[in-house]
Amino acid sequence: MQDKSHSSYKQLEQKSKYTNMFLRWFLYFVLVIFALYFIFPLYVMIVTSLKTMEEIRQGTLLTWPSGLNFDSWLVAWGGRGYGAGDTFLKPYFWNSIKMVVPAVFFSTFIGAMAGYVLTKWRFKGDKWVFLFLLFGCFIPYQAILLPMARTLGVLGISNSVIGLVLVHTVYGIPFTTLFFRNFYVSIPSELVKAARIDGAGFFKIFFKILLPVSTPIIVVTIIWQFTQIWNDFLFGSTFSFGEAAPIQVALNNMVLSSTSVKEYNVDMASAIIAGIPTLIVYVLAGKYFIRGLTSGAVKG
């Protein structure tokens, strides 16, 4: 009796072991299939950028390039060297850097201050102020494009990098405030209260107590803002053209310009160049990127 039940239990265990193994294989199979699906466009971009047009016409999307041929990259970055109509990414890449750095700095700073006040120097109605700012994360920017275009014109900074810095700083504030506010909420207010009793002032408390522990949220905010602003197309294409355009706009113009034969290898090299800064940040600091995404991710 004892033996029989024991052996059937063993059988059962054996059986569930097989189903389990089958399930694990199935699991990995599905996960790998999806991984291939996600990696496929990146793979195609890279191999296409390394091929000559002749190779592209002869092979398929997946064909391995015959060698490491970076000609299209050079053309995408620096052009062919003949004057008019020769568009390449280098100047626009620098436009984007000049736009991103100040915009990220200002929006992060303003957001940090706002988050600090909203959590540690609470006042009547602060919840409403937060909600007031938060709504700015969600508005469709189409609803502000027309007045913004006019405002930039009146200020004399339309079609300039400075104009784009202003736009990105302003519309980044709701996000940066959200990040800092949610982070500072979790820091015990007792510390701040004690410091206040000791006579520490507003800025001293910020720099001595909050700033030293803020590194993670600063990283999250900078990465988030950097990615959003670098990847922006709507503001860039609406408020700038020609020489002041950021890189995404230049990339789109390059790909759309239908001069002579379509050069897919140069298109792909350009796309990689435009995507590489954010991709590097993502690979190096993915943890912080995901935190930004899941803690306040609302932007389209």
Residues in region 222-261 near another protein by CB under 8 A: 227, 230-234, 237-238, 248, 251-252, 255-256
Considering CB under 8 A, how many residues would be counted as binding another protein? 91
* Minimum CB–partner distance for residue 210 and another protein (Å): 13
Q: E strand or H helix at 114, and its extent?
A: helix 90-120
User: 3-class secondary structure for 40-56?
Assistant: HHHHHHHHHHCCCHHHH
User: How many degrees, rounded to 5, is the angle at CA 118 between CA 116 and CA 121?
Assistant: 75
Select from 4-12, 68-76, 189-197, 265-273 the region that touches another protein (CB under 8 A).
265-273
Q: Is 132 in the site for another protein (CB under 8 A)?
A: yes
Site for another protein in 68-127 (CB under 8 A): 110-111, 113-114, 116-118, 121, 123, 127
* Minimum CB–partner distance for residue 83 and another protein (Å): 25
Q: Is 195 in the site for another protein (CB under 8 A)?
A: no
User: How many degrees, rounded to 5, is the angle at CA 68 between CA 64 and CA 74?
Assistant: 120
Nearest to 75 by CA among 279, 249, 252, 267: 267
User: How many degrees, rounded to 5, is the angle at CA 229 between CA 226 and CA 234?
Assistant: 165
Q: Is 200 in the site for another protein (CB under 8 A)?
A: no
Which listed residue (28, 70, 94, 207) binds another protein by CB under 8 A? 28
Q: At residue 56, what is the residue type?
A: I
Select from 69-77, 87-95, 212-220, 292-300 the region that touches another protein (CB under 8 A).
292-300
Q: Is 207 in the site for another protein (CB under 8 A)?
A: no
Q: At residue 244, what is the residue type?
A: A
Which listed residue (1, 143, 197, 261) binds another protein by CB under 8 A? 143
CB under 8 Å to 71, separation ≥6 — which residues? 52, 265
